[in-house]
Amino acid sequence: MRRRWMAAAAITFASVLGLSACGGGGGDTAGGQPSGGKQQVEVFSWWTGPGEADGLQAMRQIFEQQNPGQTFFDAAVAGGSGDKAKALLASKLQADTPPDTFQGHAGAELQGYIKAGDLEELNFLYDELKLQDVFPSQLIEQISVDGKIYSVPVNIHRSNVLWFNPAVLKEAGVAGAPKSIEEFLTALEKVKATGKIPLSIGSEWTAVHLLESVLLGSLGTDAYNALFLPGADWNSAGVTKALEDFKKIMSYAGDPQDDWQPAAKQVADGEAAFNVMGDWAYGYFHNPPEGGLGKTSKTDFDWAPSPGTEGTYLWLSDSFTLPKGAKNRDGAVAWLKVAASKEGQDAFNPKKGSIPARKDADQALYTDYLADALKDWSADKLAGSIQHGVAVNQPWLAEINTQVGLFLGTQDVAALQKGLADAAAANAQ
Type of residue numbered 396:
W
pLDDT at 15 exceeding the cut of 50 = no
Q: What is the pLDDT of residues 327-336, one digit of tens each?
A: 999 999 999 9
What is the number of residues in the chain? Answer: 429
CATH 3.40.190.10 in the chain, residue ranges? 18-155+318-371, 161-314+388-427
Give residue 2's pLDDT: 46
C-alpha separations of 33 from 204, 308, 335 in Å: 36, 51, 18
- State which H helix or E strand residue 250 sits in: helix 237-250
Q: What is the pLDDT of residues 303-324, one digit of tens each?
A: 999 999 999 999 999 999 999 9
Contact 155, 345 (CB under 8 A): yes
Q: What is the pLDDT of residues 115-149, one digit of tens each?
A: 999 999 999 999 999 999 999 887 887 778 889 99
The DSSP line for 359-398 is SSS-GGG--THHHHHHHHHHHSEEEE-TTTTSSS-HHHHH
Q: How far apart are the first and last CA of the chain?
A: 35
pLDDT at 16 exceeding the cut of 90 = no
- Cβ of 35: how many Cβ atoms within 10 Å? 12
CB within 8 Å of 315: residues ≥ 6 apart: 156, 157, 158, 159, 377, 382, 383, 384, 385, 390
List the one residue out of 375, 373, 276, 396 whose CA is nearest residue 315.
Answer: 373
Phi/psi at 332 (5° precision): -65, -40
- In CATH, what class is 161-314+388-427? alpha beta
Buried b (16+ CB within 10 A) or exposed e, 167-185: ebbebbebeebbbebebbb
Strand 144-145 relative to strand 70-74: parallel, antiparallel, unpaired?
unpaired
Give residue 283's pLDDT: 85
| CA dihedral of residues 295, 23, 81, 166 (deg, nearest 10) | 10
The DSSP line for 110-158 is GHHHHHTT-B---HHHHHHHTGGGTS-HHHHHHTEETTEE--EE-EEEE
How far is 43 from 60, CA to CA, in rounded Å? 10
Taken in order 267, 209, 369, 284, is the CA torsion positive or negative?
negative
Contact 108, 392 (CB under 8 A): yes
18-155+318-371 maps to which CATH number? 3.40.190.10
Give residue 143's pLDDT: 77
Buried b (16+ CB within 10 A) or exposed e, 67-79: beebbbbbbbbbb
Buried b (16+ CB within 10 A) or exposed e, 313-340: bbbbbbbbbbbeebebbebbbbbbbbbb
How far is 187 from 172, CA to CA, in rounded Å? 8
Q: What percent of the chain has pLDDT over 90?
A: 77
How far is 221 from 208, CA to CA, in rounded Å? 18
Lowest-confidence region among 81-90, 369-378, 394-403: 81-90
Lowest-confidence region among 91-100, 115-124, 137-146, 373-382: 137-146
Give residue 83's pLDDT: 79
Give residue 247's pLDDT: 98
Region 205-214: what's the mean pLDDT? 97
